[in-house]
A and B are shown apart, each in its own frame.
Chain A
């Protein structure tokens, strides 16, 4: 009996002690809350003194409120830094060297540490020096070697050509009968998205259709290189604003994501929305969303909605593409039990069985025309044999992204649309009235939904 009393007494003491410890003040900069304190510092919400003056309960509340914004901010800065450390093409070179300011480097240092910021600073100094040297003295082999880890070969070539271009440029501008058309052409080529076949296709025909194996344009690049000084012109024409050179602005603290009000007539709505036990987070920047997902603990995602244009076997979210493999790799182990992956895009499930619904029927007719007939005849006109074109497109036009993903993400419910999904909020005019041009969730979708778990159809969720 005595032992039992002693045990109970010890347990009571331990419980009281732990609760006292939990309710105690949190020291400024404590490693467990590193991200939250970085956010406080960056947004100047608190400093060491004002933090110490807060009661313990208030501190706990502030830390809880700051958790999600801090994680999102860290993911955004990390994504930005990773992009800035990749090899730059000519357009990015211009954008980053002009865009990155001391403040951005300070943000990088705060969030990612001194080494990461120093790495970027070194790259920036090297490229800025080369940019200064290139037109005046030209680049020697040592310069080219030093730049090779930081720039694409095309960008290095463009830099090397600046000296030749500078030599060719006359002191005084002479009247050129073709100057107007040349200027127009330069403006046009500068607005072309470089090294991104999907973006190029979108630029020309606005098409989001799949079936676009990565295509490079070596011929075009060679033709461009053949023009003396053309590169230098491209360097000048490359608009700095197209590159996200600056560290993303800090997220407003403790504020829910609100739909951006826009006055545009048409919609450019897309985004990723993640629901966890901590709440809901919406992202328009898909890189930030992916970074946030990768940081989440296992089995924590209750629902994820990928919203954008869809096509058989593919979901687009802004500039990013999600097929079954990529989605499964991204969400591997992250889905909670009975968690839902919602592809909110047209034709992201297969057509399914026969139906009497005329709206569904007409959507199916349109799908067959757009994703079979049209590409089939395009292939035939390009000289592809009939059997080969038939085999290719018969397989593709009725692809089922939701089912394929469900076979890869075990246990999760994966939903897609069997039809084209009409989102009222996307209709021109209505978009303007509703002010949701950059919405990250679709709201109501008029379409036929299908859901799968482990490859088997289940009730729509």
Chain B
């Protein structure tokens, strides 16, 4: 049971940086405007939030990679 808990925890921890990336992609898709049509205010806000989450998440993943290098003594 202890192992099962920690497997779940490890999976969740590893997935954590990907959650904002996925959420950002979904938001960008959800608030995409029709081709050529001007974006409404809601669409603009939705896409902005999506972009922040996406690129924040990407930066988070890069940060984790940096920490891994640091941990292994490469930095």
Contacts and interface: CB of A to CB of B under 8 A. Distances in A.
Interface in A252-273: 266-267
Contacts of B75: 266-267, 426-428
Contacts of A362: 16-17, 60, 63-64
B9 A209 contact: no
A377 B10 contact: yes
A373 interface: yes
A205 B74 CA distance: 10
A370 interface: yes
B15 to A, nearest CB: 10
B22 interface: no
Given A358-B60, A359-B63, A362-B63, A369 B13 contact: yes
A202 B10 contact: no
Contacts of B74: 206, 266
B2 A387 contact: yes
Interface of A: 202, 205-209, 266-267, 309, 346, 358-359, 362-363, 365-366, 368-370, 373, 376-377, 380, 386-387, 390, 420, 422, 426-428
Interface stretch (B28-36, B38-46, B65-73): B65-73
A369 B67 CA distance: 11
Contact of A376 (B6, B14, B16, B67): B6
A366 B70 CA distance: 11
Contacts of A207: 71-73
A202 B73 contact: yes
Interface in B1-33: 2-3, 6, 9-10, 13-14, 16-17
A373 B10 contact: yes
A386 B70 contact: no
Closest 7 CB pairs of A and B: A206-B73, A386-B2, A373-B10, A366-B67, A206-B72, A362-B60, A365-B16
Given A358-B56, A362-B63, A373 B72 contact: no
Given A362-B16, A365-B17, A368-B9, 4 more contacts: A209-B71, A358-B60, A362-B63, A426-B75
Given A373-B9, A386-B2, A390-B2, A205 B67 contact: no
A420 B73 contact: no
Given A368-B13, A373-B6, A377-B10, A363 B73 contact: no
A267 B74 CA distance: 9
A389 to B, nearest CB: 8
Contacts of B70: 346, 420
A366 to B, nearest CB: 5
Contacts of A208: 71, 73
Nearest to A419: B67
Contacts of A387: 2
A363 B16 CA distance: 12
Given A267-B75, A387-B2, A369 B14 contact: yes
Nearest to B71: A370
A373 B13 contact: yes
Listed residue (B14, B67, B68, B74) with the most chain A CB atoms within 10 angstroms of its CB: B67
A423 to B, nearest CB: 9
B64 A366 contact: yes
A252 to B, nearest CB: 31
A189 B73 CA distance: 21
Contacts of B14: 369
A267 B75 CA distance: 7
A12 B8 CA distance: 84
A422 B66 contact: yes
Contacts of A309: 73
B63 to A, nearest CB: 6
A178 to B, nearest CB: 33
A309 B9 CA distance: 27
Contacts of A365: 13, 16-17, 64
25 contacts: A202-B73, A205-B73, A206-B72, A207-B73, A208-B71, A266-B74, A346-B70, A358-B56, A358-B60, A363-B63, A363-B67, A365-B13, A365-B16, A365-B64, A366-B64, A368-B13, A373-B6, A373-B13, A377-B6, A386-B3, A390-B6, A420-B67, A422-B66, A426-B75, A428-B75
